[in-house]
Amino acid sequence: MSDPTASLAALSLSGPGGKVVVNTAVVGEWEDAKAAYTGPKLSRRMWENENHAKMEGLDYVFRTTYDDEANPTGMINLGMAENTMLTKDYLEYYGKVFSKALRPNDFTYGTQGSASKRFHKAVADMWNENFSPLTPVQPDDIATAPGATGALDQLFNVLADSGDAVLIAAPHYNGFDANMVVRSGAQIVNVYGPPPEIAFTTPGAEIAAFEKAMEDCKAKGINVRAILLCSPQNPWGRTYSKEVLLDYALFAEKHDIHLIADEIYALSVWDNPKIPNSPPFISMLSLDVEKETGNKFDKSRLHIVYSFSKDFGCNGFRLGVIISQHNPLVIRGLLHISFVAKLGSIGDALISHLINDKPVFKALVAKNIQALRDSSETMAAFCEKQGWKPVPVNSGHFMMVDASNLGFKDMEEERDFGRLCVEFGVGVGLGQSYHALTPGWLRLTHTYEPERLNLALSRLGKAVEAWRSRA
Ligand SMILES: Cc1ncc(COP(=O)(O)O)c(C=O)c1O
């Protein structure tokens, strides 16, 4: 998998209208493969799924991944939200507790149709101890899935029919484009509201854009089934104020749609003096919407998505949950798919053990927050040195950076820069992948341990130099 053309092409995959090409040297282009197919009939779903080529691009990105021993020239991907800063701590901890954490039942099909009873109880406890839900979360309020990716996929299979729309503030996490769409056939409507300095804290501002989007959908005959709140937000790395969260709830109530809150970065939040008065993380489950606003709010429309990928640096464990406290039918409806994609017991056992080991849990969360603060400062300083403008963050694993001084005249040039970075062994998140409307935005992940982050930044610095000195 070392064909450079393919690695360049892999990064062109997400540009709107950009040609999707993957590792053509190995597997050929998806469209050509379809055209050449002469085998027995395949499902219509498979032919109509436009996500295949994109996934193959992503697959290629994974295959090039850096490893300090096995693949030191591989790509360090600043375009992917991975947090490896505490990996050594987790390895040491899980190594010590492994045989205690695993129970004999972990070698069987387990203790219920979804993940283990132990995992459901641990997640409920964690939620109750950290996020002040209005009503304590019960183990049976939870459905499980392989990561938030799986949770969104499964949830939309239950909530939406083909063609139904979900409204999301843009720019947004690019995984949403596939996760909620591929299986359910739902569609995403990107909603462009005010800039971040207004959107996250000014009541009424972002929601005005949603009202407009709702009108547009109605005019086009599109049935809107849900609004998705990403809190803290990806890619802006910002938390929402209580007032704006209440706006989301009232909007969902007014239009009788579901409100999905993706709270995957709930514990990856810190104070940044560059954002004075930035709100702490507030879980949607903690809000008494009716009391706060004097308006009715049917809580059966609220579903939380969470996973252990981010706050606990274990994307690879694939542990995701849906918490729906007031809609038991949704949880029951999820059981079938939860079973088909049942969580493996090893991650379930290790994370449950960690949650129950309160002092270690607390210490690692605190250590992670300090590491996030430090690594975000390193990244911001690097960007400023390039003459870029990093938008201040107080959460998440990345920051949006105005790198317009790179002078991209269009999105194609932005993609060219992405390809050039890959040649230098570093991946960057191109603004267009997150639906930024103008070229020149990068989303850069900072959550690598200092050595790896510095190596990535040195590679990025060289790519920038090469870009600036190109003929
Ligand atoms: C907002 C958001 N939701 C969901 C996901 C998917 O996470 P998981 O690894 O749990 O599938 C990500 C990953 O980057 C994310 O940023």
Three-class HEC string of the chain = CCCHHHHHHHCCCCCCCCCCCCCCCCCCCHHHHHHHCCCCCCCHHHHHCCCHHHHHHHHHHHHCECECCCECCCEEEECCCCCCCCHHHHHHHHHHHHHHHCCHHHHCCCCCCCCCHHHHHHHHHHHHHHCCCCCCCCHHHEEEECHHHHHHHHHHHHHCCCCCEEEEEECCCCCHHHHCCCCCCCEEEEEECCCHHHHCCCCCHHHHHHHHHHHHHHHHCCCEEEEEEECCECCCCECCCHHHHHHHHHHHHHCCCEEEEECCCCCCECCCCCCCCCCCCCCHHHCCHHHHHCCCCCHHHEEEEEECCCCCCCHHHCCEEEECCCCHHHHHHHHHHHHHCCCCHHHHHHHHHHHHCHHHHHHHHHHHHHHHHHHHHHHHHHHHHCCCEECCCCECCEEEEECHHHCCCCHHHHHHHHHHHHHCCEEEEEHHHHCCCCCCEEEEECCCCHHHHHHHHHHHHHHHHHHHCCC
Of 58-67, 103-112, 456-465, the least confident: 58-67
Considering the domain boundaries, does residue 100 fall inside one? no
Indicate which atom in ligand 1 lies nearest the CA of residue 320.
10
Q: Ligand 1 centre from 48 Cα, in Å?
A: 25
**With bands split at pLDDT 50, 70 and 90, how would you rate the model's confidence at 469?**
very high
Q: Ligand 1 centre from 304 Cα, in Å?
A: 13
pLDDT value of position 12 = 40
Residue 210: CB atoms within 10 A of its CB come to 22
Considering the domain boundaries, does residue 101 fall inside one? no
pLDDT value of position 63 = 85
Domain count, the chain: 2
pLDDT value of position 46 = 87
Indicate whether 430 and 456 sit together in one domain.
yes
Give yes or no for residue 1 having a pLDDT over 90. no
Indicate whether 203 and 219 sit together in one domain.
yes
Considering the domain boundaries, does residue 97 fall inside one? no
- Residue ranges making up the domain that contains 80: 4-87+362-468
Distance CA 261, CA 132 (A): 15
pLDDT digits (tens, 9 = 90+) for 217-271: 999 999 999 999 999 999 999 999 999 999 999 999 999 999 999 999 999 999 9
User: Ligand 1 pocket check: which of 155, 173, 182, 231 to mutate, most ligand atoms within 8 Å of Cβ?
Assistant: 173
Tokens, residue 49: 């799924």
Indicate which atom in ligand 1 lies nearest the CA of residue 149.
11
- Of 356, 390, 420, the residue that ends a domain is 356
Name the β-bridge partners of 76.
426
Q: Ligand 1 centre from 257 Cα, in Å?
A: 23
* Spatial CB neighbours of 382, under 8 Å, sequence gap ≥ 6: 457, 460, 461
User: Ligand 1 pocket check: which of 156, 268, 269, 310 to mutate, most ligand atoms within 8 Å of Cβ?
Assistant: 310
Of 13-27, 173-187, 410-424, 444-458, the least confident: 13-27
Indicate whether 390 and 348 sit together in one domain.
no
pLDDT averaged over every residue in the chain: 92
CATH code for the domain of 171 = 3.40.640.10
Distance CA 124, CA 411 (A): 44
Q: Mean per-residue pLDDT for 153-180?
A: 96
Indicate whether 220 and 369 sit together in one domain.
no
Indicate which atom in ligand 1 lies nearest the CA of residue 150.
11
User: Ligand 1 pocket check: which of 77, 149, 172 to mutate, most ligand atoms within 8 Å of Cβ?
Assistant: 149
Indicate whether 352 and 390 sit together in one domain.
no
pLDDT value of position 471 = 63
User: Ligand 1 pocket check: which of 309, 322, 397 to mutate, most ligand atoms within 8 Å of Cβ?
Assistant: 309
**With bands split at pLDDT 50, 70 and 90, how would you rate the model's confidence at 127?**
very high
Indicate which atom in ligand 1 lies nearest the CA of residue 234.
1
Indicate whether 169 and 279 sit together in one domain.
yes
Q: Ligand 1 centre from 306 Cα, in Å?
A: 8
Backbone angles phi, psi at 250, to 5 degrees: -70, -35
pLDDT value of position 25 = 47
Q: Mean per-residue pLDDT for 52-80?
A: 87
Distance CA 75, CA 55 (A): 18
Considering the domain boundaries, does residue 352 fall inside one? yes
Indicate which atom in ligand 1 lies nearest the CA of residue 148.
10
Give yes or no for residue 24 having a pLDDT over 70. no
Give yes or no for residue 47 having a pLDDT over 90. no
Considering the domain boundaries, does residue 98 fall inside one? no
Query: Any idea which residue has 């299986």 for tokens?
Result: 183
CB 275 within 8 A of CB 238: yes
**With bands split at pLDDT 50, 70 and 90, how would you rate the model's confidence at 26?**
low
Whose Cα sits closest to atom 4 in ligand 1? 148
Q: Ligand 1 centre from 226 Cα, in Å?
A: 18
pLDDT value of position 68 = 87
Indicate which atom in ligand 1 lies nearest the CA of residue 397.
16
pLDDT value of position 22 = 39
Q: Ligand 1 centre from 444 Cα, in Å?
A: 15
Q: Mean per-residue pLDDT for 451-460?
A: 97
Indicate whether 210 and 344 sit together in one domain.
yes
Indicate whether 221 and 299 sit together in one domain.
yes
- Of 306, 335, 356, the residue that ends a domain is 356
Distance CA 259, CA 248 (A): 8
Indicate whether 199 and 340 sit together in one domain.
yes
Residues in contact with ligand 1 by the CB-under-6-Å rule are 81, 147-149, 173, 175, 230, 234, 262, 264, 307, 309, 315, 320
- Whether cis (ω within 30° of 0) applies to the bond prior to 171 is yes
pLDDT value of position 331 = 97
Model's pTM, two decimal places? 0.93
Give yes or no for residue 134 having a pLDDT over 60. yes
pLDDT value of position 48 = 83
Query: Any idea which residue has 């409806």 for tokens?
Result: 333
Indicate which atom in ligand 1 lies nearest the CA of residue 396.
16
Indicate which atom in ligand 1 lies nearest the CA of residue 319.
10
CATH code for the domain of 443 = 3.90.1150.10
Amino acid at 323: I
Indicate whether 366 and 343 sit together in one domain.
no
Of 8-22, 167-181, 377-391, 412-426, the least confident: 8-22
Q: Ligand 1 centre from 118 Cα, in Å?
A: 23
Q: Ligand 1 centre from 148 Cα, in Å?
A: 5
Q: Ligand 1 centre from 315 Cα, in Å?
A: 8
Burial tier of 147 (Cβ tally within 10 Å: 0-12, 13-18, 19+): buried
Burial tier of 155 (Cβ tally within 10 Å: 0-12, 13-18, 19+): buried
Considering the domain boundaries, does residue 196 fall inside one? yes
Indicate whether 345 and 367 sit together in one domain.
no
- Of 314, 337, 356, the residue that ends a domain is 356
Indicate whether 340 and 421 sit together in one domain.
no
Considering the domain boundaries, does residue 373 fall inside one? yes
Considering the domain boundaries, does residue 96 fall inside one? no
